[in-house]
Amino acid sequence: MTNNCVVKIARSAVFTLAAVTTLVGCDTSDSAMLAEKSLVYCAEGSPEGFNPQTVTSGTTIDIVAKQLYDRLITIESKDNSLKPSLANSWHVTDDGLMYTFYLRRDVQFHQTDYFTPTRQLSADDVVFSFQRILNQNHPYHFVGGAQYPFFQSVNFSDIVNKIERINDYTVRFHLSKPDSAFLANLATDFAVILSKEYGELLYKQGNTNLIDSRPIGSGPYKFKDYRSGSFVRYYAHQEYWRGSPNLQQLVIDVTPSNTSRLTKLMSSECDVIAYPIAHEKIIENENLNLESKTAFNVGYLGFNTQKPPFDNTLVRKAVAHAINKQAIIETIYFNQAEMAKGILPPNSWASSDDLKGTEYSVVKAKTYLLQAGYEQGFTMDIWAMPVQRAYNPDALTMAKLIQADLAKINITVNIVSYEWTTFLRRLSQGEHQSVLLGWFADHPDPDNFFSPLLSCASAQTGNNRTFWCNQEFDMLLERALQTNDINQRKHYYRQAQQLLSEKLPLLPIAHSKRFQASTDQVRGDILTAIGGLDFFNARKQTTQEAE
Here the CATH number for the domain that contains residue 267 is 3.40.190.10
Secondary structure class of 400 (helix, strand, coil):
helix
Strand partners, 539: 523
Q: How far apart are CA 388 and CA 316, in angstroms?
A: 25
Give a three-class secondary structure readout of 162-198.
Answer: EEEEEECCEEEEEECCCCCCHHHHHCCCCCCCCCHHH
pLDDT at 100 over 90: yes
On whether both 330 and 246 belong to a single domain, the answer is no
- Decide: residue 131, CB within 10 A, 0-12 exposed, 13-18 middle, 19+ buried: middle
Distance of CA 529 to the CA centre of its chain: 11
On whether both 135 and 208 belong to a single domain, the answer is yes
Residue pair 338/511 in contact by the 8 Å Cβ criterion: yes
Segment holding 413, helix H or strand E: strand 411-416
Of the residues 167, 196, 217, which one is the last residue of a structural domain? Answer: 217
Which of 216-220, 256-260, 324-328 has the weakest average pLDDT? Answer: 256-260
pLDDT score at 35: 67
CATH code of 194's domain: 3.90.76.10
Please give the C-alpha separations between residue 477 and each of 148, 448, 505, 506, 511, in angstroms, as whole numbers: 21, 11, 16, 17, 22
pLDDT score at 12: 44
On whether both 175 and 239 belong to a single domain, the answer is no
Of the residues 178, 198, 217, which one is the last residue of a structural domain? Answer: 217
403 within a domain of the structure (yes/no): yes
On whether both 365 and 485 belong to a single domain, the answer is yes
Single-letter code of the amino acid located at 300: Y
**Residue 269: which domain range?**
30-46+219-287+520-546
- b/e sequence 303-323, b meaning 16+ C-beta within 10 Å: bbbebebbebbbbbbbbbbbb
Residue pair 497/341 in contact by the 8 Å Cβ criterion: no
Q: How far apart are CA 131 and CA 135, in angstroms?
A: 5
pLDDT score at 3: 37
Phi, psi (degrees; rounded to nearest 5) at 222: -120, 150
313 within a domain of the structure (yes/no): yes
pLDDT at 441 over 60: yes
CA-wise closest residue to 508 among 442, 454, 459, 430: 454
On whether both 175 and 306 belong to a single domain, the answer is no
- Decide: residue 292, CB within 10 A, 0-12 exposed, 13-18 middle, 19+ buried: middle
On whether both 282 and 143 belong to a single domain, the answer is no
CA-wise closest residue to 274 among 252, 298, 294: 252
Question: To 10 degrees, the CA torsion angle through 369, 375, 376, 381?
Answer: -10
347 within a domain of the structure (yes/no): yes
On whether both 271 and 403 belong to a single domain, the answer is no
pLDDT at 304 over 60: yes
On whether both 170 and 78 belong to a single domain, the answer is yes
DSSP letters spanning 76-97:
-TTT--EEESSEEEEEE-TTS-
Residue pair 71/86 in contact by the 8 Å Cβ criterion: yes
7 within a domain of the structure (yes/no): no
Q: How far apart are CA 117 and CA 336, in angstroms?
A: 47
Higher pLDDT, 345 or 382: 382
pLDDT score at 113: 96
62 within a domain of the structure (yes/no): no
Question: To 10 degrees, the CA torsion angle through 163, 165, 168, 169?
Answer: -50
The alpha-helical segments, DSSP class H, found in 154-216 are 156-159, 182-186, 196-205
Q: How far apart are CA 351 and CA 493, in angstroms?
A: 8
Secondary structure class of 416 (helix, strand, coil):
strand
Q: How far apart are CA 533 and CA 526, in angstroms?
A: 6
On whether both 256 and 332 belong to a single domain, the answer is no
Residue pair 294/338 in contact by the 8 Å Cβ criterion: no
Distance of CA 389 to the CA centre of its chain: 10
Secondary structure class of 10 (helix, strand, coil):
helix
Please give the C-alpha separations between residue 266 and each of 273, 288, 517, 520, in angstroms, as whole numbers: 10, 8, 10, 11
On whether both 313 and 441 belong to a single domain, the answer is yes
Of the residues 217, 248, 268, which one is the last residue of a structural domain? Answer: 217
CA-wise closest residue to 504 among 480, 474, 470: 470
In tens, the pLDDT along 186-245 reads: 999 999 999 999 999 999 999 999 999 999 999 999 999 999 999 999 999 999 999 999
On whether both 311 and 180 belong to a single domain, the answer is no
Q: How far apart are CA 285 and CA 327, in angstroms?
A: 29
64 within a domain of the structure (yes/no): no
> With pLDDT > 70 as the criterion, what percentage of the chain qualifies?
93
pLDDT at 14 over 80: no
On whether both 226 and 116 belong to a single domain, the answer is no
Q: pLDDT band at 58, cuts 50/70/90?
A: confident
In tens, the pLDDT along 104-145 reads: 999 999 999 999 999 999 999 999 999 999 999 999 999 987
Q: Kind of pairing, strands 378-384 and 434-440? A: parallel
Taking the model in full, what pTM does it have?
0.79
Strand partners, 507: 301
Strand partners, 21: none
Torsion-angle region of 334 (φ positive above 0: left; ψ -120 to 50: alpha; else: beta)? left
pLDDT score at 27: 54
Number of domains in the chain: 3
